[in-house]
Amino acid sequence: MSVTIRTRELANGCRSIYLDIYESGKRRTEYLNLYLKPEVDDKAKSENDNAMKLAVATRAERILGKEKEVDSDIHGTLLSEWMERYVSNLASRLKPDSLRHHQILVRTVNDYLAHIHKRSMKTNQFDKKIYTGFLVYLKDTYRVQRGDNHYELHPTTLFNKQRMLNQMLNAAVKDGQLAENPFKQLENNEKFKKPARNIVFLTKEEVMRMAATPAQSWRTKVGFMFCCFTGLRLSDLSALRWKDIRHTDSGMEIHLTSMQKTGKPLTVPLNRNALKWLPERQGKQADDKVFDLPERTTCRVCVKALAKRAGITKDICFHTSRATFATLLLAAGTDLYTVSKLLGHTSVKTTQKYAEVLLSSKSDAVNKMSGLFQKDK
């Protein structure tokens, strides 16, 4: 049996001490909840010496076959390290987009801890004051950088980050790292509310106007129009490669082995309208991307500008193309199950929202018509 003391650098500048254990041809890692801090003063140096002494003692116990654990109540677990372990343990069960969002949340929490000069915070120190401070930081201070520009977070993004943080803190409670999730102590006015979902889609006439309108970014317009006839998410469109487009006996189709958001496969036949917006391959290799799109925020801005030029007053975004695809299919008489499969939904209930918004739109149109026949008073 071989037991080696090793350290790993954390995002907050500290180093985590762990044991690298090799026994019977198998290697495992044991984290000790002990940390080496930057030795900026004598106190930090003394704490590091004590931490290493405990690590040496624990190593000796493991070699002797003892399983005595380091007292985590005394030393605690750094929040930054516990979050990294939490996400790492979830990685195999998370969808690709969800994993990316969890990793971004961990980085954002670490940024906040640095912002308030508490990089060495233990998990059990995450209280109501820290939670409310983090939410204020997200809304008022934190910004997403896209190129040379910085953008505040959308209300939906704020709510989703709060939701993910709650899941993480609930797991910390179950893991014995935290006595209670401080979210329970927050007042309603301190919490982010879930924004009302407003599904926006284009009618057939509006799609035709968008197609006929000159664009600020031709690349964005081509991608948006293609999605109006395929229902692809922007993440899947950006990742689409020529090997994902297949020729079959019935025509051409998109075949994704794994969608970016869900990790599930998807097959979508390409109709004549979609083929009009499919770029020329021009000798590109199978692994080359089909669409040369600008970054995400630029796509959003360009789509809004295109709609404005086309005289469309709806508050649209790139995802509007996916809603448009769904509602156009339903308006053409396609059954809900088929639309669900073409969108890659795992449940027809998810697709039902498009049928409901289409029905609501038809009801509004009928109600407006009735006003034409009201007698003048």
Same domain, 35 and 155: no
Residue 170 belongs to a domain with what CATH number? Answer: 1.10.150
Q: Domain check: are 218 and 350 in the same one?
A: yes
Kindly state whether residues 165 and 216 are assigned to the same domain: no
User: For residue 356, is it within any domain?
Assistant: yes
* pLDDT for residue 127 is more than 90: yes
pLDDT of residue 52 exceeding 60, the answer is: yes
Most confidently modeled of 53-62, 145-154, 215-224, 356-365? Answer: 215-224
Q: Work out how many domains the chain is built from and give that number.
A: 3
Residues 64 and 101 both lie in one domain: no
Residue 267 in domain: yes
pTM over 0.75: no
What's the confidence (pLDDT) of residue 151? 82
Residue 243 half-sphere exposure toward CB, CA atoms < 13 A:
6
Q: What percent of the chain has pLDDT over 70?
A: 92
- CB contact at 8 A, 231 and 245: no
Question: Nearest 5°: phi and psi at 203?
Answer: -80, 170
Q: Do both 175 and 87 map to the same domain?
A: yes
* Mean pLDDT, all residues of the chain: 88
What's phi and psi for 59, nearest 5 deg? Answer: -60, -45
pLDDT band at 367 (very low <50, low <70, confident <90, very high): low
Domain membership of residue 183 as a residue range? 79-190
CA distances from 292 to 16, 129, 217, 253, 257 (A): 42, 45, 11, 20, 21
Torsion of CA 50, 53, 55, 57, to 10 degrees: -140
Q: Rounded distance, CA 275 to CA 289, Å? A: 16
Is the pLDDT at 360 greater than 80? The verdict is no
Q: Most confidently modeled of 117-121, 147-151, 308-312?
A: 308-312
- Residue 62 pLDDT exceeds 50: yes
**Residues 194-230: pLDDT tens digits?**
887 788 999 999 999 999 999 989 999 999 999 999 9
Residue 373 lies in a domain: no
